[in-house]
Structure 1
Amino acid sequence: MTEKKILGILAIVFGGVGLAFSWVPFINNMAFILGIVGVVLGVIAIITNLKSKKTLALIGTVISILSLIIVLTTQNLYSNQLNKAFSGDSTPNSQKESSEKATNKSVSNSNDPSKNTWTFKHDVFSAGIMTYKFTKSEVRDSIENGKKTLVIYADVTNNTDSEQDPSNIYTVMHAFQKTDTANKNLIPGMVKYDENSNNPIQQYTDALNDKLLGKKTTSVALVYSLENNNPVTVKFDNADFTKIGEKQYDVK
């Protein structure tokens, strides 16, 4: 009997799209849903074609299952990488060993900041080894003609004894602004230079990208390129990319 192809083709389409985006952070959450739909359609197609060919149904099912596997694998990988970025493991092993020998460590790691629960409360984002206290915000002209930027200032503290990278916050802090058709994920921007060809917040953006010494605090600035004058919602994730808080900024 001839294979009934519609469900098999749909399974291939959903599975294929899911597979294409299965490796992309955040977007692969949607890819996971597409993969599930593809598997369901593929299984139904197989059942429908029990007494006929099942080529397309099997292909769609296999592709969809593969997309689910890749999503789960990559999300675990990204989560581990993020945990590593926000942990105290950035110090070379040799340096760690020599430091431990020099201090003759015998105490437990009960005070290890990387074990702390991530929270966002009262404008303070506690991200394990790093703490960001948001102090103020402002709207400035963008380096792109006719556009504006949202500048968010914060005092960041390194809770460890090792150097850390404050800019890792961009992986767990995301700004959104609604347009006529979508809730846009804003990208990092750059402030327009002044009449002396200087960037007025350069010292703060430099501090964000510099390695922060252990137990030190510095002032930084995060810059997002705006789409319009609508309010901006900033969402904060933990190391598992689960939202733990949000804050809204008026940019008018």
Structure 2
Amino acid sequence: MTEKKVLGILAIVFGGVGLVFSWVPFINNMAFILAVVGLVLGIIAIVTNRKSKKTLALIGTVISAISIVIVLATQSSYSNQLDKAFDGSSSSNSKKTKAEKASNKTTNDSKDPSKSKWTYKDDTFKAGILTYKFTKSEVRDSSEDGKKVLVLYADVTNNTDDEQDPSNIYMVMHAYQKTDTSNKSLNPGMVAYDADYNNPLQSQEDALNNKLLGKKTASVVMIYSLENENPVTVKFDNADYNTIGEKQYNVK
């Protein structure tokens, strides 16, 4: 008997789209849903074609299943990377006995910045080993002709004795602006050069991208390319990608 192809084709489409975006952080949450839909359609197609060929149904089911596996593996990998980037847990106490660990747990946790709770309050984002105090915001001309950027100024403090990377904030800080059709996630941007072809914010951008020494504070900037003049909502996540605070900026 001839294979009924509609469900099999749909399974391939949903599974294929899920596979394409399965490795992209954040977006792969949607890819996971598409892959699950593709898997369900593929299974239904197999059942429907139980007495005939099942080529497309099997292909769609396999692709969808692979997509789901990749999404789960990718999310686990990015979560581990984020934990390492911000928390940098040390193994220096690994040789302590269980009794010593139990007796010193409260004291050690209170002194270890990576154990502290992540919060956003009063323009201050406490992200474990790094603290960002936002001081002001402004709209500037973009390096792209006819566009603007939102510039957020902050003082970042390294709460540890080791060097840290302040630019990791872009992994847990996201800006959104509504367009005619969606609430779009904004991309990092660049300010326009001055009359002497210099970047007026070069020192702050360098401070964001350079390693910050232990117990030091530096002035940095985060820059987002604007789509229009609608307000921008900036959201702050913790290490598990859960939003813990947000602030709205007017850009007119």
TM-score normalised to the size of structure 1?
0.89
What are the ranges of 5 or more consecutive residues in structure 2 without an aligned counterpart? 94-102
Identity rate of aligned residues, in percent? Answer: 75
Alignment pair present for 1:186 and 2:193: no
Distance 1:251 1:113 in 2: 34
Q: Deviations over 1:10-51 (max 9, x none)?
A: 111100110111011111111001001001111111221222
Q: Deviations over 1:166-200 (max 9, x none)?
A: 01101111111122233222111111222333322
**What is the match of residue 133 of structure 1?**
133
| 8 Å contact from structure 1 (residues 88, 160) kept in 2 | no
**What is the match of residue 148 of structure 1?**
148
After superposition, residues 16-165 of structure 1 pair within 5 angstroms as 16-88=16-88, 109-110=108-109, 111-165=111-165
**What is the match of residue 96 of structure 2?**
none
| 8 Å contact from structure 1 (residues 140, 148) kept in 2 | yes
Q: Deviations over 1:62-89 (max 9, x none)?
A: 1111100000000100110111111235
**What secondary structure, in the 3-state scheme, does the structure 2 residue paired with 1:190 have?**
coil
**What is the match of residue 215 of structure 1?**
215
Distance 1:173 1:144 in 2: 23
Q: Deviations over 1:81-126 (max 9, x none)?
A: 111111235x9x9xx79xxxxxxxx965322211222222222111
**What is the match of residue 239 of structure 1?**
239
Distance 1:199 1:168 in 2: 22
Report how many aligned residue pairs link the two structures.
Answer: 240
- How many angstroms does 1:56 deviate by? 1.5
Cα RMSD between the aligned structures?
1.9
Output the amino acid matched with 1:82: L
After superposition, residues 170-185 of structure 1 pair within 5 angstroms as 170-185=170-185
Distance 2:145 2:56 in 1: 51
**What secondary structure, in the 3-state scheme, does the structure 1 residue paired with 2:136 have?**
strand
**What is the match of residue 97 of structure 2?**
none
**What secondary structure, in the 3-state scheme, does the structure 2 residue paired with 1:86 have?**
helix
**What secondary structure, in the 3-state scheme, does the structure 1 residue paired with 2:87 have?**
coil
**What is the match of residue 103 of structure 1?**
none
Distance 1:169 1:35 in 2: 30
Distance 1:198 1:52 in 2: 69
Worse-superposed segment, 183-192 or 10-19: 183-192
**What is the match of residue 102 of structure 1?**
none
**What is the match of residue 167 of structure 1?**
167
Distance 1:154 1:45 in 2: 55
Q: Deviations over 1:137-178 (max 9, x none)?
A: 001111222211110011111111100010110111111112
TM-score normalised to the size of structure 2?
0.89
Give the 4+ runs in structure 1 shifted more than 4 A. none
| 8 Å contact from structure 1 (residues 9, 60) kept in 2 | yes
